[in-house]
Structure 1
């Protein structure tokens, strides 16, 4: 009974109920007005028509357009109004000015060494072009003097992260989509508290929506009492708003400017298999050391300035020197950020560039496979031209409806020659792609619409690093624990399930 009462009065349920009441009230008001005022019907329908014209002529993904056009046309009285309220990823003018200012301060702090681009171009013009593209649209340069270490599963990253946190002398920056009290976070919090007492500058950013059911209300205040500087991204309030569309899905840890971590692993127990929710949780991360860490430092500080309305400079957080181990040559490393607010689908374009330029193989880990037409065509064409394209997705889902949509994308890919596997021990949350023994990307970017178009994300692009081979070897080893998917098992799916899948696929961009 206590658990039921705790659930009923939890923040998630209360906020959800408040929003549902507002939605219901809005629908009833519009419906009632529509019954009594012909002018209101006319205005609402005109608004819906304008919304459709706007959607058709903007630069958004076509599938995302269709997912909105259908409900607007089916419910013209309030469809257009709902799109204007929830269908756009736009900031207010004031916040746009703030964000633009932040990005303007980032660019001077991140300077590309042109000699490195020239050096890469002599080896592979495509690699140099990829680096130039990412630098142009994220301001993040590529580095030579850096080192990378692939970490999998989550337990390995956890131990490595604790080891590096204990070494911190100046600052620790943590930015995560999900933080949840438990073995993992409590262990890290003990270290952070100890470091604060030693005079280390410790800062934490967490996504309020991502932590809605994970952390107590106003948890940031609790951390501040411990001496940890903290803020929540997009604090959730029980009011209808488009702000819920844009979430901070990044996972970043920066220690003293010389060591950084990113990948799929949040700070919660399922990510390290301390508790089992969906079978064995397969995840991965990358640790980088050396000059490339500066990109992550600037990423974190720029968002910190935005959230706290501050104008703190970056240079004082840049290390004066690096240890010899960090300066070992290990290929080229480019950490980058992707934002939904600039109209450039950077994460997807990085994936697409690698897929289109592949010569031998493409190996992909992704928890969700909800693709737009362009990505489906790119993967299919790669397989048709003889590239070994393999994708690993979960066998046990964390979200049943999303997994159903993921499986609905299997058929056209398999028919084109793409090999799809499901990780039979449980859930795979890793997000990575490795291509031709040359390139790899590992980070927070899922192959779904939210990750590619609506969330703040980050990743590391690597060229000719040792970790590229580590990711490849891990992928090949993981295949031993997977089952390959064939089309026969889908031929006998009942017609009504196929119909449900068709509907889910239409609205997949909104999930």
Structure 2
């Protein structure tokens, strides 16, 4: 394998350059057509100006987040013809519409296998009507029931999850499903791959799905064929090809591992060495995850199968992956696994975060790598603080994306002035996506506090309510807080003029970041 690394990297980066050049060529052709029509054909240009005005009216009256409308209105107003043509081109892309239609069909097919236990729902409603309403919403719009009979283990670091993954993978008897945003050769992936190959030889069914962005810089484009030769079923989600499409904007950002339908993992940890601190990138890498053992693992099984089948019309044998009900401790609390789909009118990941902020009684504690907020989220954070809720946010001190970090800092003053406390993790980078509230609610998953996670990506998480493991999540927040420095209003003023200007300019394009 070592001998082929140079060749592999050449293929990777050679393909990356070709794809980028092809996409730029398409954008250049569109822009050139605009220039030709403007300069040489006056009446056609006039016609397109009318089209631009019609597009503007459509954007203003279209349902959706006003921040996204603003991003489109800017090019339509400044460069009417090109902006209108580009908007129409993006709106007419069939990829996202076909995928949404396919996902709805798949969700309808799996609904009979993830039926809500009415006794569990009624018990939750009796304890907390507001949580009962949230659970009903998630089941209605996300096909995700609320479960009991589920043991939960929280991992405060990626290396903790890694050790548990290796242990649980070795115990697999029937099937292993893996869905990850990033995979890269190294200590972590190579050790997991060795176990997967051994499990295939034992007759265990192994399916591996990873996001197609990896084909640009991390893995060879035909890596799925390499795994298939080992007996591992493998797919890339939305592989990047040499044509421009809005479809590429919707990435599979989920991190899911399901073993035998009994055990499931999720959280921020991808399959690369920086996530377990075996490779230093941006200082110490702080990440989190959870392992669910019991009934709630079922939802992750079917969440995976829906994504696996989104690009095919084959009939899945869902019954083959049903496992008997788990008998857990009597008072183990409630667990709701849920997914986020970037289509339709519902934004489930955002709704859950807003619900926690709006119903908090004493505190909301948050860890997130990115802070790129729409007005609704800003209002929820500031209103919670203004009504006396302790709102604390832990951010990285060493960012992985300097532009995103500069943009995040533009929100600091408004949040701090309202009473929100912001901290930066001084040892390095926080990649965790965690909410805890009132010692009775916690969310651990893949959902960042930015537009991409809340609007554009496929995501997932586990919501815990009155579960004993919530105290471990909150304790980790407090332990992490000891390694942070609090940000004051004066800190923003100390930033360089160009950094502040960069952040303010980027704020115009925040929905795209």
TM-score interval (norm. to shorter): over 0.9
User: Please, what is the CA RMSD of the aligned residues?
Assistant: 1.9
CA distance in 1, matches of 2:438, 2:372: 24
Question: Are residues 209 and 88 of structure 1, via their aligned partners in 2, closer, same or farther at CA, if it must alter by over 3 Å?
Answer: farther
Give how far 1:41 is off: 1.4
Change (3 A) 1:500 1:290: same
Counterpart position of 1:438: 440
Q: Tell me what 2:381 maps to.
A: 379
Indicate which of 401, 404, 411 corresponds to 1:402.
404
Does the Cα contact within 8 Å between 1:178 and 1:211 map onto a contact in 2?
no
Aligned to 2:393: 391
| Change in 2 beyond 3 A, CA 1:273/1:86 | farther
Q: How does 1:20-99 map to 2 (within 5 A)?
A: 20-86=24-90, 91=95, 94-99=98-103
Is 1:481 the counterpart of 2:474? The answer is no
Equivalent of residue 131 in structure 1, options 117, 135, 139: 135
Q: CA deviation at 1:277?
A: 1.2
Question: For residues 12 and 339 of structure 1, do their structure 2 counterparts lie closer, same or farther at Cα, with a shift above 3 Å needed?
Answer: same
Deviation at 1:89, TM superposition (A): 8.6
Q: How does 1:198-217 map to 2 (within 5 A)?
A: 198-217=202-221
Query: Quick check: 2:427–2:483 contact (8 Å CA) kept in 1?
Result: yes
2: CA distance between counterparts of 1:413 and 1:9? 41
1:45-444 matched pairs, under 5 angstroms? 45-86=49-90, 91=95, 94-320=98-324, 322=326, 326=328, 329-444=331-446
Structure 2 counterparts to residues 484-499 of structure 1, below 5 A:
484-499=486-501
Q: Is the 8 A contact 2:452 2:511 kept in 1?
A: yes
Contact 1:89 1:454 in 2 (8 A): no
TM-score by length of structure 1 reads 0.96
Q: Relative to structure 2, which stretch is displaced further, 86-95 or 172-181? A: 86-95
Q: Deviations over 1:128-177 (max 9, x none)?
A: 11111111110110001111110121000001011000000000000001
Q: Which residue of 1 aligns with 2:3?
A: none
- Whole-angstrom distance in 1 between the partners of 2:423 and 2:94: 37
Distance 2:207 2:38 in 1: 51
What is the CA distance between 1:51 and its match in structure 2? 2.3
- Whole-Å Cα distance in 2 between the matches of residues 11 and 356 of structure 1? 47
- Report the Cα offset of residue 59 of structure 1: 2.1
Distance in 2 (alpha carbons) for counterparts of 1:265 and 1:88:
35
Residues 296, 87 of structure 1: alpha-carbon distance in 2 compared, 3 angstrom cutoff: same
CA distance 1:225–1:119, shift in 2 (3 Å):
same
CA pair 377-96 structure 1, distance change in 2 beyond 3 A: closer
Cα contact 1:259–1:289 (8 A) shared by 2: yes
- Corresponding residue for residue 454 of structure 2: 452
1:471 aligns to what? 473
State how far apart, in whole Å, the 2-side matches of 1:272 and 1:372 are.
32
Q: Distance in 1 between matches of 2:129 and 2:93?
A: 35
| TM-score normalised over the length of structure 2 | 0.95
Q: Distance in 1 between matches of 2:93 and 2:134?
A: 26
